[in-house]
Amino acid sequence: MATTTLAPEGKAYTRSWVLDWLTTVDHKKIGVLYIVNSFVFFFFAGLLALVIRSELAVPGLQFVDESTFNQSFTMHGTLMIFLFIVPIFSGFGNYIVPLMLGAPDMAFPRINALSFWMLPLGGGLIVSGYLVGGAAAGGWTGYNPLTQENFSPGDGTDLWIMGLAVVGTASILGSVNFLTTIFKMRAPGMTLFRMPIFVWTVLVTQSLILLATPVITAALIALFIDRNYGGSFFDPSVGGDPVLWQHLFWFFGHPEVYIVILPALGVVSEVLPTFSRKPLFGYHAFVWATIGIGLLSFSVWAHHMFTTGVVFLPFFTFMTALIAIPTGVKMFNWLATLWRGSLVFTSAMLFGLGIVSMFLIGGISGVMLASAPVDFHLQDTYFVVAHLHYVFFGGAAMGVFAATYYWFPKMSGRLLNETLGKIHFAMLFVGFNATFFVQHMLGIQGMPRRVADYAADAGWTEMNLISTVGAFLIAASMVPFVVNVVTSLMNGPKSGDDPWEGNTLEWATTSPPPTYNFDSLPPIRSERPVFDLRHRDDPMFHPELAHATETSKGADR
């Protein structure tokens, strides 16, 4: 493991590390702040999930009343989506994208700090509902008229609206920053089609954030005006339309699904080639499939609204089913990458394979729900809950862990313990499937989502109990993870610059990288500059050289 020699960092003046972290504009420190902040909200939202599953373990109301239950699933969904899964990939993106591009920092470092610091503010506003007589309880989708003044009278819903508007604005500023960085800050030689796949997925993701988030901001403002200034956007008695909220919400909400999942698919596409010792199969196909998903995502929103009866079913069924094609392309990209590769089953690789298999199930149940007749039966049942968790948890959250195991050595300079990592994976994988697979069956049998109780004679008790046990197994799987991270940070083995034999530029600098990222860059002649550098003398990769050697041998004879 070579260690790159770097010029010593200047120590012109020193200041306390607290002030340093509070005022930093370094993309790597901001990235770490994003990740830590997201894990804090992940912990809190995870506790809420345990509240939900505990209450549903057996029929009857044992632990919480309906009101607390409603607040729990609303805050669980809101925090998991808006303050864990989206920002944590912004965090990994913040840390890794400039490194992958060979850039010294993001394009707008101070806006970068602003868009991070708005997140704890917005998250704090959302959570502070608990301090003023109850948090928002209208579901993370905030459907009207549930969230109107007469059904949700408390301040919790207003704080939820304000907090989401702040978080949304933060992500818009972040997307401007990411896109400008990707368009303008690439190192010489780093053309668009030499960018790592993770950067491509961030590019498409951030474009979706840029264009979809403002629509939900407009909807949130409309809802706020309805609640506080006597507006009637969503009030049918004076000409408003409650379904309009669903249109605006899902016009944002469906691109949001891809905002969540695409970076995770990008992580898989870095992890699988590295640990298969092969290049990603079909780089261009993967890029175009990602762009295709991004474009299609704006034409499928009303498949969430089939049962409203006001949307044109065949169009939205067709467009939704169409998304299966680029997604299927990606599946074949990954399978062909694994095929005949020299697989190395590190923890990151296990999570990568976990995503491929779990996201496949989530994708298939998604196509089932896209079919209008099936959807009419399954709307608002646990089938939908199972489907969205196979995408958000089995896809995206597993991607978070794959990214953590993959890039932790780069960020900290230390290796994580592989045994603990594998225990983490095994517990999470079993717990996840125990929790959510049975929910498919519960949904088909008609168990509605967002209800605190169910009849004892409905036949749902066993499956709910399995689901609850699984949820606690997921929670328990976080123990080896946290122990692993803490012990590794304290005295883990040094990782060196490139512990995995990676392909992309972040492995060409030290671990952790210096403030300015690179002393020198390898020449960028392909999408795998570090691979090229490692094998620059290998004749196998220079057919023309091999031929020249043959010829010179012949001349010798």
Single residue of 57, 172, 400, 473 touching another protein by CB under 8 A: 172
Q: Which two tokens stand for residue 35?
A: 């990740």
Cα–Cα nearest to 286, from 333, 335, 325, 323: 333
Nearer to another protein among residue 72 and residue 510 (C-beta): 510
Q: What is the DSSP string of 352-404?
A: HHHHHHHHHHHHHHHHHHHSHHHHHHHTTBHHHHHHHHHHIIIIIIHHHHHHH
Cα–Cα nearest to 297, from 257, 356, 269, 267: 257
Is 518 a binding residue for another protein by CB under 8 A? The answer is yes
Cα–Cα nearest to 143, from 409, 386, 380: 380
Continuous H helices in 15-108: 17-23, 27-56, 66-78, 86-101
Is 102 a binding residue for another protein by CB under 8 A? The answer is yes
Is 7 a binding residue for another protein by CB under 8 A? The answer is no
Nearer to another protein among residue 63 and residue 541 (C-beta): 541
Nearer to another protein among residue 184 and residue 547 (C-beta): 184
Question: What does the alpha-carbon distance between residue 365 and residue 540 come to, in Å, rounded to a whole number?
Answer: 44
Is 235 a binding residue for another protein by CB under 8 A? The answer is yes
Single residue of 35, 126, 146, 530 touching another protein by CB under 8 A: 530
* The residue to which tokens 């840390």 are assigned: 95
- Size (the chain), residues: 557
Contact by Cβ (8 Å): 133, 101: no
Which of these segments, 219-227, 281-289, 418-426, 457-465, binds another protein (CB under 8 A)? 219-227
Applying CB under 8 A, the site for another protein has a residue count of 64
Question: What does the alpha-carbon distance between residue 257 and residue 209 come to, in Å, rounded to a whole number?
Answer: 11
Element spanning 301, H or E: none
Which of these segments, 93-101, 115-123, 275-283, 533-541, binds another protein (CB under 8 A)? 533-541
3-state secondary structure of 414: strand
Q: Which two tokens stand for residue 26?
A: 């370094």
Is 344 a binding residue for another protein by CB under 8 A? The answer is no
Single residue of 25, 40, 58, 176 touching another protein by CB under 8 A: 176
Is 346 a binding residue for another protein by CB under 8 A? The answer is no
Single residue of 81, 164, 222, 396 touching another protein by CB under 8 A: 222
Compose the 447-486 pattern: x for residues touching another protein by CB under 8 A, - for all others: ----------------------------------------
Is 217 a binding residue for another protein by CB under 8 A? The answer is yes
What separation in angstroms does the CA of 359 have from each of 10, 268, 356, 386, 439? 46, 11, 6, 12, 16
Is 233 a binding residue for another protein by CB under 8 A? The answer is yes
Is 230 a binding residue for another protein by CB under 8 A? The answer is yes
Nearer to another protein among residue 451 and residue 533 (C-beta): 533
Q: Which residues bind another protein (CB under 8 A)?
A: 1-5, 102, 107-108, 111, 172, 175-177, 179-180, 183-185, 187-189, 210-219, 221-222, 225-226, 229-233, 235, 238-241, 244, 247-248, 251, 496-498, 501, 508, 518-523, 530, 533-534, 536
